[in-house]
Amino acid sequence: MGGSWLQYVAGGLTAGAIYALVALGFSIVYHASHAINFAQGEFVMIGGMSAVSLVALGLPLWIAVPLAVAGAVIVGLLVQRLALERAQSGGQADVVTLIIITIGVALFLRGLAQLVWDKRIHALPAFSGSEPITIGGATVLPQSLWVLGGAAVAVLALGWFFNRTLYGKAMRATAINPLAARLMGISTRGVMRTSFALAAALGALGGVLTAPITFTSTDIGVMLGLKGFAAAMLGGLGSFGGAVAGGLLLGLIEGLGAGFVSSAYKDAIAFVVILAVLFFLPGGLVGARRSERV
């Protein structure tokens, strides 16, 4: 019993790390624009699928992975530039409109991906071998350690960026008060673009890290995006620490729930979590309530 408990925890944390990366992407974009980017999950897919193609072309992993992430970043910038910038600058783009636009983008990217690649499932070779390791009664794949490690590095790098670098602080300032930030010479456009680029990079990183374990296909974007969003909401939308905590927590709940309750309803868990958060804790674990000023 102890072993399987640990097993579920390990599996849950691994999945949770990916959710955390996706959730971070959501939070960064929300922080900068108050828009939910429903296409976030597609960046995960693009990352994984690009890596698969690059590896199939013969490139070694250590080149394919960064290239795949870079490719996703380019797509993210294009999306932001072509679809969102115009809608947001063109006067009143209300929340519903922006949501629908990002859904359209997600559909478009998915449709495009199905043309560029195909609808089959693909695997990426594990980064350092696929011999399971035993840690304290649980059997863990080395790739899981890559996932957790990679996610941790990404989170720390982001933390350093937002807290210690000038541009990172500028981005946070823009989120808090765009007008004041612009008066200080910070380009809000630049901040939006950087946010998208970061979100795409995080998503793609998650996609690449998890592809050896969970495989990848052009369909995975939707579910991952939704679960990542659930995690972001759980932690409090716009909060970076919350996104990470939410992701790990969601992964844990999912893993334990699938193990002990029902594996058929595993996917439903994330949505039940979303609903619970929305109904009982609209600000998430971290967030605060805002009231409308009349």
Minimum CB distance to another protein, residue 259 (Å): 17
The rounded distance, in Å, linking the Cα atoms of 230 and 233 is 5
CB closer to another protein, 169 vs 266: 266
Identify residue 268 by its one-letter amino acid code.
A
Residues that bind another protein (CB under 8 A): 36, 83, 86-87, 90, 93, 95-97, 99-101, 103-112, 114-115, 222, 226, 229-230, 233, 264-265, 267-268, 271-272, 274-275, 278-279, 282, 292, 294
List of residues 6+ apart from 26 with CB closer than 8 A: 36, 37, 40, 199, 228, 229, 232, 237, 243
Give the integer Cα–Cα distance in Å for 43 and 158: 18
Residue whose CB is less far from another protein, 89 or 134: 89
Of residues 207 and 221, the one with the C-beta less far from another protein: 221
Give me the least distance between CB of 283 and another protein, in Å please: 10
Q: How far is the CB of 33 from another protein (least distance, A)?
A: 12
Nearer to another protein, 135 or 223 (CB): 223
Token pair belonging to 92: 């009143």
- Comparing CB distances to another protein, the nearer of 95 and 156 is 95
Nearest distance, CB of residue 109 and another protein, angstroms = 7
Which residue in the block uniquely carries the two structure tokens 């296409």? 39
Smallest gap from Cβ 291 to another protein, in A, equals 8
Nearer to another protein, 157 or 278 (CB): 278
Minimum separation from the CB atom of position 54 to another protein (A)? 23
